[in-house]
Amino acid sequence: MKSKYKRVLLKLSGEILGGGGFGYSREVIHSIADEVKEAKEEFDVDIALVVGGGNIFRGRDASRVGIDETTGDYMGMLATIMNALALQSILEQKGLDTRVMSAIEVRSVAEFYIRRRAIRHLEKGRVVIFAGGTGNPLFSTDTAGTLRAIEIGADVLLKGSKVDGVYDKDPDSSSDARRYEELTYDEYIRKNLQVMDATAITLAREHNLPVIVFDITRRGNLLKLLSGEKVGTLIRP
């Protein structure tokens, strides 16, 4: 089956892998892996992933005990490598060929990120999992996801969330929260929406990279997006 997109980057937060908490949710991580496998089997599409580390370590936890922000950010990057290895293990159990590429050099467990090598892996049908953020402190994994999507020539950045799009208010605490079907980059920044940080959205705007925020925990949503159905919120030029 032909996908609407030739190449996509799926951004996952660490909290998603933890089912909203710390550690790993077996149900969630296997559900996501199954969805990626089905996407690879049903569509002619290249899939890359960027994963956060919030289910293992958060920067605010470091500041609480007196660890400086830069060190805390590096600790968070190491947590993303752990999550990438976890995803790799589950995906390969399901028969997918994968590579973990890290912006921080850890030769015994992952390849060092080189753009051309990453593109070659994708061309060979492998699922590439990017870890280590951007390799620099003070940048979120959302920004890393946007950067990697641009570098590999992805057609769209898919932000896998636990909510079904971008709302004008927190839908968990406001019963009158309204979901946007579409937003321009400028509207997103002007409204000071918080699903992705402004640096990531600004970078996407500069390179005309569409961003779709959707509920990755609902089975079938990734396949619907690849087939061209409207799911979640589109952030666009």
Of 179, 201, 181, whose CA–CA distance to 190 is shortest? 201
Q: Which class for 65: exposed (0-12), middle (13-18), buried (19 or more C-beta within 10 A)?
A: exposed
Q: How large a percentage of the chain has pLDDT more than 70?
A: 100
pLDDT > 90? residue 169: no
Q: Which class for 142: exposed (0-12), middle (13-18), buried (19 or more C-beta within 10 A)?
A: buried
> What domains are defined for the chain?
7-236 (3.40.1160.10)
pTM of the model: 0.95
The pLDDT of 41-55, averaged and rounded, is: 96
What's the order of all strands across the beta sheet hosting 46-51?
A: 111-112, 98-102, 127-131, 46-51, 7-12, 156-161, 211-215, 233-236, 182-184
Q: Output the six-digit token pair for 156.
A: 């769209």
